[in-house]
Structure 1
Amino acid sequence: MRSLLALFVGTSLLATPALAQTPWTGGDDLPATPLACDATVKTVAPGPYNGGAPTGAPNRAGKPLRVVDIPKLVGVGYFASTASGIQQAAKETGSMTVTTDGPTKANIDEQVTFIDNYITSGVDGILFAANDPVAIAPVLKRALKAGINVVGYDADAEPDARQWFVNEAEPNGVAKALIDQLASEIGATGSFAIVTSTFTTPNQARWITEMGAYAAKCHPKLKFLETVEAQEDNILSFNQAQTLINKYGDGLKGIVGMTSVATPAASEAVQQNKLCGKMAVVGLALPNAMKPYINGGCIKSTVLWSTVDLGYAAGLALRAVADGTLKPGATSFKAGRLGELSIINQSQILLGAPKVFTKADINDFDF
C-alpha cells in the first residue's frame, strides 16, 4: 500500500508543472508580434485603410474648427502634457479652438457620457484617448454619423469608430524597451510584477501581451509574478506597490509601471521601504515625475515618448482630416516640426520609438 501511494505521489509530481511561471495577466487575447532580440527593424507596408468616415460632413477645409479633447482622465500630468501639445497644434494652425474635458477617473462610462454630451452640443472634431476600445466605439460611431471628424491618440478604439489614431509607439516596441531595460536592471533571472491601470485599458493590455511574448523569446528566464490594477490613481498605485513588496519580499526584484501614475508611485514605495538599489522600478512615466528618484539615485530609468509631441501630432491630424489633406491610402503624414511620420497598421500615424531616460540625460527634458 505504501509503495502504491509513493508511486501515485511521484507520478502526480511529474505531471504537475510545479516550476511553471504564472500565466501573464492583464493582457488581451490578440496574437503578439515580438520584435527581434537585437536592434533589427523591419519595415512593413501600412496596408489598406480600415478607419471610419464621417457621414455628410460639411466642407471644413481651411475653416475654423471647434474641437473637444477627451482623454482617459483629466488632472494628471500625462494628459496635461498631451493637451499642451494639442494647444500648440491649434496655435500653429491658427484655426482651431480646442477644449480639453473629461472624467477625473479612468472610467469608460463617464468618458462615453462626456463624448455623447459634446456630440449633442455640436463640435467639428473629437480627439480621444480610450479607456476601453470596445465600449467607446458606439459613441464614436455616433459622432462619425453626425458628421464629426474623430481622431484618437494614446489608446485606440475599434478602427472603424474613428478616422485615424496617433500611435505613440508600436506595442511591440514598447514591450521590447521595457523588458530589455528591466532585464538589464534585475538580471536575466529576476522576478517582477506589473502595476497597470485596468485590465481593459487597450494600450496597456496590448503592451502586456507583447511583453509576455518578447520576454518568452528574448529573456525566457525572467520570472513574472502577477499584474495588479491601480486605476491610474496615485494613492492606489502606491498601495498596490506596497502590497507587492509586502507579499513577495526579497522574491520581488522589480516592478513595471504601465502608467505615468504607477511608475513614480512605485518608485516612492521602493524609496520609503529603503529598497533603493535592491529593487528596480522600470516603467512609463513623465521625466519630470521621475527626476527626484532618478537624480537621487534610487531609480535608474524611465521609458516614454514625448507626450507633448503626441498631442501635437494628434491636433495636426485632426486639422488635416477636416481639411481633406490626410486621406485613406496615405503612407505618411507631414506633422509640422516633427517632420514626416509613417502610417502603419492601416490607419495609424506612428510617432516613433520609445526612449529610455536616465540620469545622464533626464534633466535635458521638461515635460
Structure 2
Amino acid sequence: MKKKTVLLAAGLVLASSAAYAASWTGGDDLPTSPLACDGTPGTVAAKPYDGGVPTNPPDRNGKKITVVDIPKLIGIGYFNATSKGIADAAKELGNVDAKTDGPTKANIDEQITFIDNYVTSGVDGILFAANDPVAIAPVLKKALAAGINVVGYDANSTPDARQWFVNQAEFNGIGKTMIDSLAKEIGEDGSFAIVTSTFTTPNQARWIAEMSAYAEKCHPNLKWLETVEAQEDNVLSFNQATTLINKYGDQLKGIVGMTSVATPASAEAVTQAGQCGKVAVVGLATPNAMKPYVEKDCVKSVVLWNPVDLGYAAAYVLRAAADGTLKPGDTSVKAGKLGELQVVNGSEILLGAPFVFDKANIGQFDF
C-alpha cells in the first residue's frame, strides 16, 4: 500500500477503513510491508549492498580515529542517551575519540551546516541522525568523497549518502507494536490523532506509513483523525496535543506521539485537560520522561528501544567500517556487549525488536 495525499487534508476524519488510503498520514510514498496480525515474524529478503563508499580513505585499521556525532538536535533526553552510548563504546574501544555536536532545534539546514563544517575541518568519521533524508544527502556525499567514514542511526539518509545505517527496529515492527498498543487501549473502533515532528523526518514518516498499512490490515475500524507537526519542540507539541483535545472533544480517544518530545508533551496536555482515562497516549519516548504519567495511570504503555544501545551500536559499526572489517556483502557485525548484529536490507544494521514499557517494568530503566 502507498500513502496518497488529498489536498494536504491533514484534518480529514475517516469514516471507515476505506478512507485510510485517502488520508494524509504524514507517512512517505514507499511501499509498505505490514506484519501478520497474529504476530508471525516477517522475513527479510536478501538485498545487495546499496550504501555509499568513501573515496580513497586512508588506512585506519586499528588506528585512533576522530569521530563526530551530529544528531537531529542536541539537548533532549533521547539524543543525550544515544550520545552516552557512543561515548561508552568509544571508551570501550579505546581507539575512538568521539564527541557530539549539532543544532539545538531539529532544523535540517543547521544540521547540514554542522556536518559541512566538520567535513572541512577534517574528521575520520561522521555519525548522524537525519532531519531530512534527501536534503542531508549532498553534504554526506561530500564527506564520503573526502574519504570520511559515514554511518547513520535513528533516522536514515538516502542509502548512497552513507555506508551503513543502524536501524533501531524494523519499521513494520514499530508500526505493529504502536497500533496494537493503541487498539488495546482505545478499542477497535476508537478515533485517534498523531503528533509527529515533521512530515519529512525519515524514520517517523516510515513508521507512520507502516502504522497506516498495518492498521488497515489488522485493525480496520480504527479512525485516523489527523496528523500534526510539532518540530520536536516541547511547547509546540503540548499546544498541538491540546488543540487536538479541544478540537475533537469526546471523539478523540487516543493520541500517538512519534517522538520522545511529542509523547510526554501529549501526556502532559491530557493531564492538564483532565482527560486521563478518557484520552489514551501511546508513543515513542524514553522511560524517564514517561514515568510520572505511567505511575499515575495516565499512560499505559510506551514503545521504544534502548537509545544508549543504539548509539553504542552505531559507534561500533563506524569503527568496523573504518577498520575494513565490515564490508559490503557481510551479513553481520560484532558490536561489543550487544554481540552479533544482523545486516538487513542491503546496508542496514538491525538493533532489535521494539520494547513496550509499562507500569510493571518502567521503573527498571534509567534513561
Matches within 5 A, 1:59-98: 59-98=59-98
What letter matches 1:229 in structure 2?
A: E
Task: Indicate if the aligned counterparts of 2:195 and 2:257 stay in contact, CA closer than 8 A.
Answer: yes
* 1:223 pairs with 2:223: yes
* 1:244 pairs with 2:244: yes
Residue in 1 that maps onto 2:148: 148
Residue in 2 that maps onto 1:366: 366
What letter matches 1:211 in structure 2?
A: M
**Superposition deviation, residue 333 in structure 1:** 1.3
Residue in 1 that maps onto 2:333: 333
Residue in 1 that maps onto 2:302: 302
1:135-182 CA-partner distances (Å, limit 9, x unpaired): 000000000000000000000001010000000011101000000000
Structure 2 residue matching 1:325: 3-state secondary structure: coil
* 1:185 pairs with 2:178: no
Task: Indicate if the aligned counterparts of 1:82 and 1:307 stay in contact, CA closer than 8 A.
Answer: yes
Residue in 2 that maps onto 1:235: 235
Residue in 2 that maps onto 1:312: 312
Residue in 2 that maps onto 1:324: 324
Matches within 5 A, 1:167-206: 167-206=167-206
Task: Indicate if the aligned counterparts of 2:36 and 2:42 stay in contact, CA closer than 8 A.
Answer: no
Distance 1:266 1:18, change over 3 A: closer
Tell me whether 257-266 or 272-281 shows the greater mean CA deviation.
272-281
Residue in 2 that maps onto 1:353: 353
What letter matches 2:201 in structure 1?
A: T
Q: Sequence identity, in percent?
A: 74
**Superposition deviation, residue 259 in structure 1:** 0.1
| Distance in 1 separating the partners of 2:347 and 2:25 | 28
Structure 2 residue matching 1:346: 3-state secondary structure: coil
| Distance in 2 separating the partners of 1:226 and 1:176 | 19
* 1:112 pairs with 2:112: yes
| Distance in 1 separating the partners of 2:113 and 2:179 | 37
| Distance in 2 separating the partners of 1:31 and 1:45 | 14
1:180-230 CA-partner distances (Å, limit 9, x unpaired): 000000000000000000000000001111111000000000000010000
Residue in 1 that maps onto 2:207: 207
Task: Indicate if the aligned counterparts of 2:82 and 2:309 stay in contact, CA closer than 8 A.
Answer: yes
| Distance in 1 separating the partners of 2:287 and 2:156 | 24
Task: Indicate if the aligned counterparts of 2:25 and 2:212 stay in contact, CA closer than 8 A.
Answer: no
**Superposition deviation, residue 117 in structure 1:** 0.2
| Distance in 1 separating the partners of 2:123 and 2:233 | 30
Distance 1:24 1:215, change over 3 A: farther
Structure 1 residue matching 2:127: 3-state secondary structure: strand
**Superposition deviation, residue 49 in structure 1:** 0.5
| Distance in 1 separating the partners of 2:199 and 2:57 | 35
Tell me whether 20-29 or 184-193 shows the greater mean CA deviation.
20-29
1:321-363 CA-partner distances (Å, limit 9, x unpaired): 0011111111111111111111111000000110110000000
Residue in 2 that maps onto 1:4: none
Tell me whether 42-51 or 70-79 shows the greater mean CA deviation.
42-51
| Distance in 2 separating the partners of 1:362 and 1:251 | 30
Residue in 1 that maps onto 2:25: 25
| Distance in 2 separating the partners of 1:181 and 1:342 | 27
CA RMSD in angstroms comes to 1.1
Task: Indicate if the aligned counterparts of 1:46 and 1:331 stay in contact, CA closer than 8 A.
Answer: no
Residue in 1 that maps onto 2:9: none
| Distance in 2 separating the partners of 1:355 and 1:305 | 6
| Distance in 2 separating the partners of 1:216 and 1:86 | 38
Residue in 1 that maps onto 2:126: 126
Give the gaps of 5 or more residues in structure 2. Answer: 1-13
**Superposition deviation, residue 18 in structure 1:** 7.0
**Superposition deviation, residue 47 in structure 1:** 1.6
Residue in 2 that maps onto 1:40: 40
Distance 1:63 1:155, change over 3 A: same
What letter matches 1:363 in structure 2?
A: G
**Superposition deviation, residue 99 in structure 1:** 1.3
Residue in 2 that maps onto 1:51: 51
| Distance in 1 separating the partners of 2:59 and 2:31 | 40
| Distance in 2 separating the partners of 1:164 and 1:312 | 14
Task: Indicate if the aligned counterparts of 2:51 and 2:161 stay in contact, CA closer than 8 A.
Answer: yes
| Distance in 1 separating the partners of 2:314 and 2:168 | 10
